[in-house]
Amino acid sequence: MRTLREKDLKRIIAEAISELQAFHGSGADFDKFNHKKYLSSGFGSQAFGWGTYVTTDITIANSYAETASRRNSYGGKNLRAIVRDVFNEVQIDSTIASLMSQSFDQSKVFSIPQGYEEKYITTFLYLFDESDGDIQLFMEHCNNLINSAKAKGNEQSLQMYRFFKEALKKMPNNKVQSFIYEVDIPDDNGTNYLSWYETISPDQMKRIYQGILNLKPSLLSKISKYTYTFDTTMGMYAQYPNKQEMINSLMSDKTYGAFFGGSGYENPTGKAIYYRLEILFKSQKAASLFLMQCGFDGISYPAGTLWGKPEGASEYAYNFVVFDANKVKIVKKELWNKQFQNNNQN
């Protein structure tokens, strides 16, 4: 039996310690993260910078997968609006058919009682969700509900479920699969991620200064042409041959005024730093790639910042934006559905 050599064992342990478990919910099916193919397709795309978005909380990943599935299925259109259009179409077609028919058949007249439109739509959407967006499954569910309504003599429910069956015949059946990816990303050691809402550390700022002063003279000149404050501050420092001396001088400026082009930045956050870089380099992608060259793996921020967290998510959940797609390693990929979501809540 082959045994692991000590150095191999140390390497495996080191890799395990240096990686953080996270999750990614997406409507895209892939075996390797690729920024060229799949970036900017997520929920709230790139709101916290350019890169691959992952979360430490599987409940949050589930919500992203569910949103992606619904949005992809209907081309980004509002599902409620689609259902309303389908309901109108059903009623119009039913009216035309009854007018053209030689014999009147009440069971083939599909209409919504006056004042009940919103109730019909809400109930339809609820049952649609319960059927996981599967038209055939919803149709079977309606058949069972119709039989139950007949047995109970409930004419109102019978009319509604018959209407739903007719509407399902006209619903676009564009169900798209979603996936949950369990991934490993570089562990947060306190310095390798730019914390979006927290004050940047002196060590992190020093690395950014170093990166700027190491830019090619042609790029520095280009930035200076369209950014006057940069030209009169950072551009000036970049001309000196002793870069380390200049970095020390810059670090003595506690306000980081040279970087921002003015005073008043005593405690800049990661967000402020990133926005400044985006202005200097004219794009989020360039800002992220620059930070990656400075030794940053990405950006971190508390989950739920934009739209809140889904029910069941941890109050301590964090999201990460990883700059290098190769550092997001897929451990496991599973097809998302309602059953998976219910079995994998926190």
Give 216-254 pLDDT, tens digit per residue: 878 877 777 767 667 666 666 666 667 777 777 777 766
Strands (E), the chain: 19-26, 52-55, 178-186, 193-195, 298-302, 318-322, 329-336
pLDDT the model gives residue 79: 77
Which tens digits make up the pLDDT trace of 277-336?
998 888 899 999 999 999 999 999 999 888 788 888 898 999 999 999 999 999 999 988
Mean pLDDT is highest, among 174-178, 186-190, 258-262, for: 186-190
Task: Note the pLDDT of residue 172.
Answer: 78
Q: Where are the domains of the chain?
A: 79-168, 189-296
Among 20-24, 127-131, 278-282, 322-326, the least confident range: 127-131
- Token pair 């990133």 is found at 274
State the Cα–Cα distance between residues 45 and 40, nearest whole angstrom: 5
219 vs 31, residue with greater confidence: 31
Q: For the whole model, what pTM was predicted? A: 0.67
Task: Quote the pLDDT of residue 250.
Answer: 75
pLDDT over 50 (residue 126): yes
The rounded distance, in Å, linking the Cα atoms of 134 and 125 is: 12
Q: What pLDDT was estimated at residue 16?
A: 46
For the ranges 32-46, 126-140, 143-157, the maximum mean pLDDT occurs at 143-157
| Contact status, residue 270 vs residue 195, Cβ threshold 8 Å | yes
pLDDT of residue 332: 94
Tokens describing residue 11 = 């390497």
Quote the Cα angle for 290-294-297, to 5°. Answer: 85
CB atoms within 10 A of CB 290: 19
* Alpha-carbon span 313 to 335, nearest angstrom: 20
Widest distance between CA atoms in the chain: 96
Can you give 48-108 as a three-state secondary structure string?
CCCCEEEECCHHHHHHHHHHHHHHHHCCCCCHHHHHHHHHHHHHHHHHHHHHHCCCCCHHH
Cross-strand partners of 195: 300
For residues 297 and 302, give the distance between their C-alpha atoms in angstroms, rounded to a whole number: 17
Q: How far apart are CA 309 and CA 57, in angstroms?
A: 10
User: Which residues are CB-contacts of 141 (< 8 A; sequence separation ≥ 6)?
Assistant: 127, 130, 131
pLDDT for the residue 249: 74
The mean per-residue pLDDT over the stretch 40-64 comes to: 81
pLDDT higher than 70, residue 167: yes
More confident site: 345 or 282: 282
Cβ atoms < 10 Å from Cβ of 234: 24
Residues 55-71 pLDDT 10s: 999 999 988 888 776 65
More confident residue, 24 or 246: 24
Question: Dihedral angle at the C-alpha atoms of 143, 176, 73, 66, nearest 10 degrees?
Answer: 90
Among residues 221, 333, 229, 216, the alpha carbon closest in space to that of 279 is found at: 229
pLDDT for position 212: 86
Distances (CA, A) of 155 to 51, 107, 146, 279: 55, 11, 10, 64
What is the DSSP secondary structure assignment for residue 23, as one 8-state letter? E
